[in-house]
Amino acid sequence: MPSGPAPNAFYAQSGGVTAVINASALGVIETAAQYPDKIGRIYAGKNGILGALREELIDVALEAPNVISGLMTTPSGAFGSCRYKLKGINESRAEYERLIEVFKAHNIRYFFYNGGGDSADTCQKVSEIGATMGFPLQAIHVPKTIDNDLPFTDNCPGFGSVAKYVALSTQEAAMDIASMCATSTKVFILEVMGRHAGWIAGAAGLAAQSCGDAPHIILFPEIAFDEARFLAKVKETVDNYGFCVIVASEGTQTADGQLLSGSTSRDAFGHVQLGGLAPKLADLIKQAHGYKYHWAVADYLQRAARHIASQTDLDQAFALGKAAVSLAVEGHNAIMPTIQRTSDEPYQWTIGTAPLDEVANQEKMMPKSFFRDDGFGITPEARRYFEPLIVGEAYPSYDKGLPVYVTLAKHLVDKKLPVDERW
């Protein structure tokens, strides 16, 4: 780093948010404050990387201390997130030049980007262009994704809380259906997120603690959907237990790669917009067997459910935010802190690292050993993996029956560059 005043840091949130992403933000903020000789002010991007492109930088120091500490128990992206994927440097050099211009103007030399695989790619590219343009940055990716599909880390912050929510919801819904199935609903379908990897759907399997417990059927993106086998399993389950509970990953697909749900529209990252799987499955069951059904889509509820967050998930989210800053002040660049499991029982973990050029745009699927032989459930090995991640209740404070969450003032620093209307 050049001599003179301590350079500033930039933190931003990216992609779909989680119940604990703000805990990572707090880890970054609190740890950065412990190094006043190396890190000056801490700026956060308003709406993720767009905050840098638009020079909309939130001065974290102007937030009330109780609001900052309240990030630990507040869901969503407190600073604002976005789905904005930077193109290749050769395709859109202007974007990168703009970022460096903004960072130069505000003496920003640390870049902390909190997100999933696409965010890791962005972080890597920003590091590269900074060096190319003679303005080196220390770019650290802070992992976050409810999909749990980042490589090199045992699990990802955000996943443990979603896993807990989905397992709980499956258990409770199953009790409802079981009590009414003699004369009413016999099939319940819960659609959960998971585009290519079935981690979230798999976690629902924790609800089944003895033979006959729900979920009776789990549909994974990794296992080809066979309509005939599926419908036969539904009938067999209803015949045996009186009802059938199904947890279906939104990315469920046939052997030829055809998604059962989806549309022609795509998001900013180029991903097909998914949805509508649960009613499609329900219709198949209705046509084949005539069973009365209900279905639900967990959607944003699963990732916003801070009231039932996993303590393990919260601890890891905070620890990775802290680790990101520690790595930066130690001189590391283009790297991601990771969770390394050292023991299942008792559950123990430590912090590791992974290079961004190996993390970016990679997806970690569930291993074959986690799938039951019939493809409709999880194995004991999978259970050993999932169980520790949902342990512990990290309840927020409550007032008048509702959780107490914080809202940032988001005071922006004065702009130093001409307004650029491209972003």
Q: pLDDT by residue (tens digit) across 230-254?
A: 999 999 999 999 999 999 999 999 9
Q: Can you say how many angstroms the Cα of residue 84 is from the centroid of all Cα atoms in its chain?
A: 16
C-alpha to C-alpha distance for 72 and 319, rounded to whole angstroms: 12
Q: Is 274 exposed, middle or buried (0-12, 13-18, 19+ CB in 10 A)?
A: buried
Burial 168-194 (b: 16+ CB within 10 A, else e): bbbbebbeebbeebeeeebbbbbbbbb
Tokens 């283009």 -> residue: 334
* pLDDT over 70 (residue 264): no
* 48 contacts 17 by C-beta, under 8 angstroms: no
CA distance from start to end of the chain = 29
CA distance 249 to 252: 6
Close Cβ partners of 354 (under 8 Å, ≥ 6 residues apart): 151, 152, 153, 335, 336, 338
| Amino acid, single-letter form, for residue 63 | E
pLDDT higher than threshold 70 for residue 275: no
Mean pLDDT value across residues 98-121:
95
Q: What is the pLDDT of residues 287-312, one digit of tens each?
A: 999 999 999 999 999 999 999 999 99
**Secondary structure E strands in 147-265:** 187-192, 217-219, 244-249
- pLDDT exceeding 70 applies to what percent of the chain? 96
Segment 356-395, tens digit of pLDDT: 999 987 899 999 999 999 999 999 999 999 999 999 999 9
Q: Which domains does the chain have, with CATH numbers?
A: 8-145+308-362+395-403 (3.40.50.450), 159-307+371-390 (3.40.50.460)
How far is the C-alpha of 141 from the C-alpha of 147, rounded, in Å? 17
pLDDT of residue 198: 96
Strands 8-13 and 293-297 come out as: unpaired
Give residue-wise pLDDT tens across range 35-93: 999 999 999 999 999 999 999 999 999 999 999 999 999 999 999 999 888 877 788 88
In the block, tokens 């869901």 appear at 75
Q: Give the Cα separation of 325 and 139 in Å (integer).
A: 10
What per-residue confidence (pLDDT) applies to 423?
77
Residue predicted with more confidence, 26 or 86: 26
Question: Which residue(s) pair with 266 in the sheet?
Answer: 272
The whole-angstrom distance between residue 340's C-alpha and the CA centroid of its chain comes to 18
For 377-407, letters b (16+ CB in 10 Å) and e give bbbeebbebbbbbbeeebebeeeeeeeebbe
What integer pLDDT is reported at residue 355 of this predicted model?
A: 96
Q: How far is residue 178's CA from residue 185's CA, in Å, rounded to a whole number?
A: 9
DSSP tally for the chain: helices H, then strands E: 13, 13
Residue 333: pLDDT over 90: yes
Give the model's pLDDT for residue 274.
Answer: 63
* Interatomic CA distance for residues 100 and 359, integer angstroms: 23
Residue 420 has pLDDT above 50, yes or no: yes
Q: Count Cβ atoms within 10 A of the Cβ of residue 247 and give its class: 0-12 exposed, 13-18 middle, 19 or more buried.
A: buried
Query: Would you state the pLDDT for residue 261?
Result: 79
Nearest to 410 by CA among 3, 32, 43, 65: 43
Give catalytic residue positions.
Answer: 147
pLDDT band at residue 321 using 50, 70 and 90 as cut-offs: very high
Minimum mean pLDDT range among 116-120, 237-241, 404-408: 116-120
Digit-coded pLDDT (tens) for 188-243: 999 999 988 999 999 999 999 999 999 999 999 999 999 999 999 999 999 999 99
Please, how many CA atoms are within 13 Å of residue 387, restricted to the half-sphere of its CB? 14
**Angle (CA) 398 192 143, round 5°:** 70
Q: Is 273's pLDDT higher than 60?
A: no
Give the mean pLDDT of 397-414.
97
Q: How many CB atoms lie within 10 A of CB 418?
A: 8
